[in-house]
Structure 1
Amino acid sequence: MNVLRGIKWPYALIALVAVAAVAVGMLRPQLVTADTSSKKKPSATDKIKQSPPPALFADAQIAAIGKKADAQRTKADALFAQWTKTHGTTRDDKAFTAWAAQQVPTPPTAAQRAAELQQDQQLAKTRTAAGKKAATWLELHGKKDIWKLYLHDQRELVPAQQGKAEKAELKPALKMAKTISDQVAAKDKQSAPYVLDPTLRPEKHIKPGAKGPYSYPSSHAARAAAAVIYLSALSPHRAEDYRWMQDEVLYSRLYMAGHVTSDITAGTLIGDLIGDYELTISGR
């Protein structure tokens, strides 16, 4: 027997409850809408917490592409010295973007690219389930998330205002790296390896005769190099970790045939130039 049935509810109280129920019913959609609209996009930290890294590639696997990337640093420093000689150390993003794009080497010849494609084809034969999992994670988070997470960790150890300024400097560097690499790619129109050989990424469903997407230079490489130079200046003792992650990202792009080696080195050169630029104009 329901004990609530034996209670005599005062009419005034019943009316009050009824009005409140109606009011809540009328407001509920608004509350839900307001709550939904106030949701923020997940941060880089949130994304990586939700998708932590799997076991990544061994140091021996990533060493070769790492050395090729290292060679771009000296070249970038020499080129950037020419920029400062003419433009000084003041910010001029528009002029720098145009200048940096002009420093990217002429794309490799068809024969050279064919030889690089063969390297990707040979590497594809060594793929494992674990390797694909690592490459997929690096492709997804190697553009921005991992670098933002590294900076977030560093910001925990510095005054809030300083951390805010550092965040404001890294963001445009990553954006500029994408902008320049996209501009050059659209101009040079070098098809990605998996477009040239669809068997390298059968899940992409490339149409016969397709040209794009274009892969010279690598946007992943450009953003990684820019971030590594900037982060290493902020925390030199962690530079080796940043370079290791950069090499992981670069190798993953070859492993899954998103790029050939010349795509990687051209992108790295762009990122190195951007890193030098951001450090210089920020007085670091």
Structure 2
Amino acid sequence: MNVLRGIKWPYALIALVAVAAVAVGALRPQLVTAATSPNPKKKPGATDRIKQNPPPTLFTDAQITAIGGEANGQHKKANALFTQWKKAHGTTRDDKAFAAWAAQQVPAPPTAAQRTAEFHQVQQLAKTRTAAGKRAATWLELRGKKDIWKLYLHDQRELIPVQRGDTEKAELKAALKMAKAISAQVAAADKQPAPYVLDPTLRPEKHIKPGAKGPYSYPSSHAARAAAAVTYLSALSPHRAEDYRWMQGEVLYSRLYMSGHVPSDITAGTLLGDLIGDYELAVSGR
């Protein structure tokens, strides 16, 4: 069982893994993992992957506040848009129709001048990188796609009936899968190169070939998946929404820090993910 910030459990087989120590020495959430070893014949799940590769010290609140605030601002926009969908389509599941509609709700990319200004911001941020920051960003880039969100859901499953837990797991998985698919579809259509494609010195380890056009970064897939997960998880456990949004801010900042995206990529992906989260909640009757 995995438990994040704010919950203490008396079971004897639980070991604490620190997530991060943030500004002014305040501890951020701790990941709690079972002491038993995973079945070697079973493919490692999110719990085991994080246990095998626990998080380093993550970014401070001061670093993630701005991008976290921008992401929060997309939630109201998404709710208003989804109200229109729901009025026209009700709560019957129609993934194909919704995916087509949701893709159309993603704003057009910013103008060339606006994106250039954002690109320069990311270049400046890259100059502030530290070894610790790179470790944090690398972990968040890897685990922020889906593992951390699955872990957040998993830590509640021993409190609810098995069937309900299985259902919620399937719903979260569906939301994450849809967020990945739609963001990839829109990115392929809009063709906005990632910052490290425009300036390969930002991520030399990516080995970008001269003249390469992609990967494309608008909208951010990480942002879409994080927003879908946070919207869904927050409805299940409202008292833990602050934790979810904190982790969302961590993931989003890491994408700017390592030049995977510019801010408009993040906000567009967040809007898309919030729509998907709203849809999954509606069609699942929550």
Instruction: Give the counterpart of 1:136 among 132, 135, 138.
Output: 138
Cα-Cα RMSD: 0.8
Q: Distance in 2 between matches of 1:41 and 1:260?
A: 35
Q: Distance in 1 between matches of 2:75 and 2:154?
A: 25
AA partner of residue 137 (structure 1)? W
Deviation at 1:130, TM superposition (A): 0.2
Deviation at 1:237, TM superposition (A): 1.0
Residue of structure 2 in register with 1:206 after alignment: 208
Deviation at 1:168, TM superposition (A): 1.1
AA partner of residue 236 (structure 1)? P
Query: Where does structure 1 differ by over 6 angstroms across 4 or more consecutive aligned residues?
Result: none
Residue of structure 2 in register with 1:28 after alignment: none
Residue of structure 1 in register with 2:239 after alignment: 237
Unmatched segments (≥5 aa) in structure 1: 1-37
1:35-85 C-alpha deviation (Å, 9 max, x unpaired): xxx922110000000000000000000000011101111110110011011
Q: Distance in 2 between matches of 1:233 and 1:95?
A: 24
Q: Please state if 1:193 is matched with 2:195.
A: yes
TM-score normalised by L of structure 1 = 0.86
Q: Distance in 1 between matches of 2:166 and 2:206?
A: 39
Instruction: Give the counterpart of 1:223 among 218, 222, 225.
Output: 225
Instruction: Give the counterpart of 2:179 among 177, 180, 193.
Output: 177
Residue of structure 2 in register with 1:112 after alignment: 114
Instruction: Give the counterpart of 1:271 among 259, 270, 273.
Output: 273
Q: Distance in 1 between matches of 2:87 and 2:154?
A: 34
Unmatched segments (≥5 aa) in structure 2: 1-39
AA partner of residue 149 (structure 1)? L
Deviation at 1:203, TM superposition (A): 1.1
Q: Distance in 1 between matches of 2:65 and 2:104?
A: 29
1:183-209 C-alpha deviation (Å, 9 max, x unpaired): 000000000000011111111111111
Q: Distance in 2 between matches of 1:230 and 1:139?
A: 21
Residue of structure 1 in register with 2:150 after alignment: 148
Question: Percent of pairs identical after alignment?
Answer: 83
Q: Please state if 1:159 is matched with 2:161.
A: yes
Q: Distance in 1 between matches of 2:199 and 2:111?
A: 17
Residue of structure 2 in register with 1:90 after alignment: 92
Deviation at 1:103, TM superposition (A): 0.3
Of structures 1 and 2, the larger Rg is shown by 1
SS in 2 for 1:239: helix
Q: Distance in 2 between matches of 1:50 and 1:158?
A: 26
Q: Distance in 2 between matches of 1:222 and 1:216?
A: 11
TM-score normalised by L of structure 2 = 0.85
Larger % of helix: which? 1
Q: Distance in 2 between matches of 1:155 and 1:119?
A: 41
1:71-110 C-alpha deviation (Å, 9 max, x unpaired): 1111101100110111111100000000000000001111
Residue of structure 2 in register with 1:59 after alignment: 61
SS in 2 for 1:96: helix
